[in-house]
Amino acid sequence: MEVKAHGVMPEGTEHLMSRPPIDTESPGPIHAASTATGALAKLSSIRCVELARRCPDATALLSNLVTAIGRQKSDAPNRLFRLGGLDDAERHLIVDVLGNGEVSGVVALPDGSLAQIHESALAGLWRLRIQADTANEYVEVGTIPNLVARAATDLTSPELTIGTAPDGAMNVLPVLTEIRERALAWRPGTLSHIINFTLLPMSPVDMVFLQQTLGSGPIELISRGYGACRILATGIRNVWSVQFFNAMDSIILDTLEVGGIPTSVLAADEDFEDSAERLQKIVEAYFK
């Protein structure tokens, strides 16, 4: 059931930074329970032996996921498991057991379709679906799905070309120069550089020219941890728009991060350990 992850290319992507905030009350593009234990009440009403007999492929997949996430490290290759081969009952069982986590989003594909991604309630376990097609649905083990990492690295431009600033511009040219220098100098393992537009005086003309110059990228993510955080890839490699919203969907902190994928959406080694332990307990309690 394990398969190789796919790559993507941006093509005709909408200008992501101009999009309205993602609905933070939505459960995300993929159906799921609210937590990894959200299905346990349902599971407890079914005899464990009967459940394992009725859903043998789902049971085997859950055991494989326990092993995979228990061995996973942040610097190790991701593991991808296909859900498309399961029947509806088994696929929904997997989705319910994994639950719904804090991070969700989309990655633009070259044919104009979207890859939907959703972190499960077990950090480090992700669900992916290509264009709402259950035949192309997967569970991936890793810090972030390969679709995101590949798009961020391969599908953005390494060159930032700065044109002539329009009339009314104030600070956009030195800001763009700083972004270009930082993006070219950044290397994996180094800290990201943050530019805070909430504190930096930028005119509306500055912000429009900044967005036009950076362009749009193929990735849009939102984290619903402590408040809502929207993360958008720009068209320039290693440059991200990171915005924080209050309960009224108003921006309270508007930043650019120059560096790798923002850490707020990445799973860490301790997440893998915790998720492996939690999933192992679920499997032992309801599928053994």
CATH number for the domain whose boundaries are 2-152+267-286: 3.30.1370.140
Contact 138/80 with Cβ under 8 angstroms?
yes
Q: How far apart are the first and last CA of the chain?
A: 20
Tens-digit pLDDT profile for residues 173-222: 999 999 999 999 999 999 999 999 988 889 999 999 999 999 999 999 99
C-alpha dihedral sign at 257, 259, 260, 266:
negative
The reply to whether 154-265 shares the fold of 2-152+267-286 is yes
Average of pLDDT values for 4-23? Answer: 36
Tens-digit pLDDT profile for residues 68-102: 999 999 999 999 999 988 988 888 889 888 988 99
Out of 3.30.1370.140, 3.40.50.920, 2.40.10.220, 3.30.2310.20, the CATH code matching 154-265 is 3.30.1370.140
Contact 127/32 with Cβ under 8 angstroms?
yes
Domain ranges in the chain are 2-152+267-286, 154-265
